[in-house]
Structure 1
Amino acid sequence: MTAPLEQPRFRPRPWTHLETPQDVELWIDDHNLAMQDLIKPQETGYGVCFTLAEGGNIYMQTLDDAVVLDVDEDAAWIAPLIQAATGAEAPAGAYWLLPADKLTQLVIGLSSLVASTTLVVGHRFGSRGRRTY
């Protein structure tokens, strides 16, 4: 007899389009509360995965002074939008390091393209030999 499959710890949450900076602030507050409640103190590599409606995932981690994005190959098409929303230069790879003050613009820019979000832990942000800029 085979063992039952383990249920994922975090499940995708359908995305609600965010249109204003106030909408984004409320989403950030909700996201931060969920992380405080669900992520254990010893866990690393935590953040949120944005699953894009047109394909691909963007993994995001926020730090005190930066926003870290890890854009998978299927979501590489989103790079021009990230540039337009944040004014950042595209990196040579898929690992983006943005100033923390660009978070609101980034989320508003991505909002209409997101299908769902999922909390993640253990993600190796930028550790696959990608260069940071």
Structure 2
Amino acid sequence: MKSDPLNGAPDGEAKPRFRPRPWIHLDTVQDVELWIDEHNRSLQENIGPQETGYGVCFTLAEGGNIYLHSAADAVLLDVDQDARWIAPLIVAATGAEDPGTDYWTLPDDKLIQLVIGLSCLVESTTLVVGHRFGSLHRKMGYG
């Protein structure tokens, strides 16, 4: 397949809107709070008001992706099948029960514990839009 010299993508394919960013291990609550602030700022700058299903994709070094959206009152997770191995860590870090599905809803006050728990396992993060957070797919406000 021939590549488009302007964006490096194969002809007919759009250049990805967001690219993976290497993850830097976060050790403290303050580190995570700074990451959350930066993440929220990036969403506000890059996501239009008409867009839905936005959040961040955590690519795990050992395999799989976790898609996260933080709303005013909840943290929504979509844990793909290749990342189901991470379920016990999510339970341990947040005290939540494993829902037995790919879709998790956590109280919003568990976001910091979740990110600290995942931090040493994350390879990269990528902003996402248009992700279907299971049956929770709806227009959500910036978290």
Report TM bin, short chain.
over 0.9
Residues 73-109 of structure 1: per-residue CA shift (max 9 Å, x gap): 0000000000000000000211000000000000000
Provide the residue aligned with 2:140 in structure 1: none
> In the alignment, is residue 92 of structure 1 matched against residue 89 of structure 2?
no
Q: Find the counterpart in structure 2 of residue 18 from structure 1.
A: 26
| Partner residue in 1 for 2:124 | 116
Identity in percent: 73
Alpha-carbon shift at residue 4 of structure 1 (Å): 4.7
Structure with higher Rg: it is 2
Q: Which of 31, 39, 47 is 1:31 aligned to?
A: 39
Task: Give the alignment partner of residue 134 of structure 2, picking from 126, 129, 132.
Answer: 126
How far apart, CA to CA, are the structure 1 residues paired with 2:40 and 2:100?
30
Query: Following the alignment from structure 1 to structure 2, what is the Cα–Cα distance between the partners of residues 110 and 13?
Result: 16
TM-score (norm 2): 0.86
Q: Which amino acid in 2 is paired with 1:50?
A: F
Displacement over 6 Å in runs of 4+: none
Aligned length: 128
Which residue type is aligned with residue 127 of structure 1? S
Query: Quick one: distance in 1 between partners of 2:52 and 2:30?
Result: 29
1:9 pairs with 2:17:
yes
Distance 1:5 1:95 in 2: 30
AA partner of residue 134 (structure 2): G
Question: Map of 1:64-103 to 2, 5 A cutoff?
Answer: 64-103=72-111
Query: 1:27-66 counterparts in 2 under 5 A?
Result: 27-66=35-74
Unaligned runs of 5+ in 2: 3-10, 137-143
